[in-house]
Structure 1
Amino acid sequence: MANRSEDVERYMRELQHSRKDEVERLRAAILDAHPGITERIKWNAPSFCFKDDDRVTLKLKPRDCVQLIFHRGAKAKSARGFSFEDRSGLLQWVAEDRAVVTLQDMKDVKAKKAALSKLVVQWMESTTPRE
């Protein structure tokens, strides 16, 4: 995983969370999903970027699960004209352009890992502005 950040490594060493193993497994899966994915800390949690723009951020509260927030960057963007086809069925839409995936435990992470990796790449590629 060449895209690992020292800041995130430090954060993970200090993290005290009941689902830390799940967080590490998700982190590895996301970074391995596409060579263009990088990471940093955002909202006091690991966040995954594509072309230097945050797209998927871990939410570590409540502590009995792990959530991935699928968003379109650090700044709010209009939902006008935005659409996304979730072929995985994993996303729970919390706004017109923001969704959440909730993972309860390691069994859930393992069962959804392949679909989640594809979903992350699909999200990042489809929400990144064309150059």
Structure 2
Amino acid sequence: MAKIKLTDQELVTKHIERLPKEIQPAIEYLRQLMLSIDKNIAEQIKWNAPAFHYIGKMKSFDPKEYKQDILVMNLRKNKIMCVLPTGATLTKNTNILEGDYTDGRRLITFKDLADIKAKENDLKKVIKEWLSLVEK
């Protein structure tokens, strides 16, 4: 019998359901927030974590440049670390971008649901700036 292939959305839902109960509301809130920012943002599981990528038209690029990837969650003890693989291209200072990595990534760290809500407007600004810089 053939295996049923789950959609990216179903895979993300199942991944969240396997997380510790106390972190699930924060992850689900962040998930819905990211998806609400723009219709060209889609979700998937990447590097064993919920991730968001751009599905609109882009010029061709080397997949190792991760130009399509917007944000990948990295769930660590007592925090939600969000990696923006091309975050160094962002110039607007929202005070939530962290790190100065030579590979071009930047991080946003959240402690919990309340912290996500407190930083929600800054996160939206960061993602909207990212979308404005995408090569179309």
TM-score (norm 2): 0.75
Higher relative contact order (CA 8 A, sep 6+): 1
State the Cα deviation string for residues 100-120 of structure 1 (Å, max 9, x = none): 011112221111112212212
CA distance in 1, matches of 2:107, 2:124: 14
1:43 to 47, 59, 66: 47
Secondary structure, counterpart of 1:31 in structure 2: helix
Secondary structure, counterpart of 1:86 in structure 2: coil
Gaps of 5+ in 1: 73-81
2:33 to 29, 36, 42: 29
Asked which structure has the greater CA Rg, the reply is: 2
CA distance in 1, matches of 2:9, 2:123: 21
Q: CA deviation at 1:51?
A: 2.4
Aligned pair count? Answer: 117
1:69 aligns with 2:75: no
Secondary structure, counterpart of 1:93 in structure 2: coil
In structure 2, the CA distance between the partners of 1:118 and 1:84, relative to structure 1 (3 Å rule), is: closer
Q: Which residue identity lines up with residue 93 of structure 2 in the other structure? A: R
Partner of 1:90: 96
Structure 1 vs Structure 2 CA RMSD: 2.2
| Identity score, percent | 25
CA distance in 1, matches of 2:111, 2:52: 20
State the Cα deviation string for residues 37-59 of structure 1 (Å, max 9, x = none): 00000111100000272221001
Partner of 1:7: 11
TM-score (norm 1): 0.77
In structure 2, the CA distance between the partners of 1:17 and 1:44, relative to structure 1 (3 Å rule), is: farther
CA distance in 2, matches of 1:90, 1:22: 17
1:56 aligns with 2:71: yes
In structure 2, the CA distance between the partners of 1:122 and 1:17, relative to structure 1 (3 Å rule), is: farther
Q: Which residue identity lines up with residue 124 of structure 2 in the other structure? A: S
In structure 2, the CA distance between the partners of 1:17 and 1:92, relative to structure 1 (3 Å rule), is: farther
Secondary structure, counterpart of 2:99 in structure 1: strand
State the Cα deviation string for residues 42-92 of structure 1 (Å, max 9, x = none): 11110000027222100101x2011110113xxxxxxxxx74203312101
CA distance in 1, matches of 2:125, 2:89: 17
8 Å contact from structure 1 (residues 71, 98) kept in 2: yes
8 Å contact from structure 2 (residues 17, 24) kept in 1: no
